[in-house]
Amino acid sequence: MRALLIWFSLMVSVVQAQSQLRLLSTQFEGLVEKTDPAVVQIVVRAFSASEENSAPLIRSSKGNGSGVIVSADGYILTNSHVVANAGRIQVLIPQAMGAAYRHLSVLRTNGKLVNARVVGQDRETDIAVLKIDEAGPLPFLSFGDSERLREGQLVFAFGSPLGLDNSVTMGIVSAKARQVKPDDPMVYIQTDAAINPGNSGGPLVDGDGKIVGINTFIISNSGGSEGIGFASPSNIVQAVYEQIRQDGRVRRGQIGVLAQTISPLLATALGLAMDASVVIEDVTPGSSAEAAGLKIGDVVVALNGKPIENARQFGVNIYQNAGKTIEVDLVRGKKPMKIGVAVLERPKDPDRLLAHLQGEQSRVRKLGILAVDVDEKVIPLYSALREYTGVAVAGITTDLSVEANRLQPGDVVHRVNQEAVLNLAGLRKMLEEFKHGQVVAVQVERAGQMQFVVLEID
């Protein structure tokens, strides 16, 4: 009888375990069915670097990545590197179908290919926002709170690895705030969910189907997944998305301080409280921090009431508040203080010119550059310009330097051999007069100064 009871108890346990596994599997299937319609494959015709006759060149190439629809009217998130230097971007929207017919073939994708445009890119976080004008409403995913992630939590990576559209892998959060480089303010979610080439730009979602990250890169000796993948946290991604959607770019703030995370040894040496987190080690003369009264040695406790745990968090909270005044809670000596500090916008990044490229229309072959007109969209990307006409250099397609002199991204071309350049069309017409091998003097505005750059015509 005892043996029979033991056997019966084991059978009950097995049945219960099987039931739990079926329930878990059903929940996973439901999650995938909910998420898949909002995950897209991105097909890009882009300019890519290559080498020929020892000279760096830019060639046209085709690539693919992933993205996720984040609004019913067609806004899509992906990685900036997926659409970098793109001449044409298309998005493959999954076709609605039952689960029994999903992924029947690796040879034929089921979906609709539509054109997309770049709303804006942010190179620092490697995030780009695209827009498609497809009749909606479209299925989309909402953002989750990446700060609430815990190590060991289940997550799912969606995307199109190696062009296999709408694939899904499962893993756990290996680390929720991995800093890849010591001096990099950007942090990533590390996961062992399989991420491969083509997954870039796809969503990392939690068990509720909410976006907690955007798959960005892997560390691998083989080139494929080895269980060390990284995703940009959703809280950073959402802030970038909202700024790009509103302003077309990301505004980053600065107050003019250098902050350091307080180590136990530093706390002991400086006589700081052991639970202190961040100390100000430098204040830039003439900065808003100096004007507000911040001093070297101040211990920062909180920003806008939010506790600060380390210098990276301090920096992130500063640059997210450009154009605002923040309240800094600090301790000076043993005295607690509150100080309001104006957060000024960081100088604008010339790399943002890449978002305004128009494919081959932007290519000036005889000068070996990708360029855009200096117009009402480009002028605000510069802190100041001496002249408000010309052509802004967004990228270099070939090395046409004479004695190491060359154009640089961010240069504004104002004249060629003293003849004024008004726009791209005028520059191309002007260059038709010059033959291969001729040398020209190009007047450019670089960092607020006028310079002559001598180039040999291609």
Active site residues per annotation: 81, 126, 200
DSSP 401: B
Determine the Cα–Cα distance for residues 231 and 252; give it in Å rounded to an integer.
21
Q: How far apart are CA 352 and CA 47, in angstroms?
A: 16
φ/ψ region of 384 (left if φ > 0, alpha if ψ in -120 to 50, else beta) reads beta
Q: What are the DSSP E strand ranges found in 70-103?
A: 75-79, 86-94
Sequence-ordered list of residues with C-beta below 8 angstroms from that of 170, at least 6 positions apart, any chain: 28, 154, 155, 156, 157, 193
> Which uninterrupted H or E stretch holds 119?
strand 111-122
Q: What are phi and psi of 134, to 5 degrees?
A: -90, 145
How far apart are alpha carbons 300 and 258 in whole angstroms? 12
Q: Which residues pair with 234 in a beta bridge?
A: none
Q: Which residues lie below 8 Å from residue 277, measured CB to CB, with a gap of 6+?
A: 261, 262, 299, 300, 301, 307, 308, 309, 310
* 94 upstream amide cis, omega within 30 of 0: no
* 217 Cβ contact partners less than 8 Å away, ≥ 6 residues apart: 200, 229, 230
Q: How many CA atoms lie within 13 A of 187 on its CB side?
A: 20
In sequence order, what are the residues at sequence separation of 6 or more whose Cβ sits closer than 8 angstroms to the Cβ of residue 415?
421, 442, 443
Token pair listed for 347:
């100088």
What is residue 285's three-state secondary structure? coil
Alpha helices (H) in 381-451, listed in sequence order = 424-431
CA pseudo-torsion sign 106, 110, 114, 117: negative
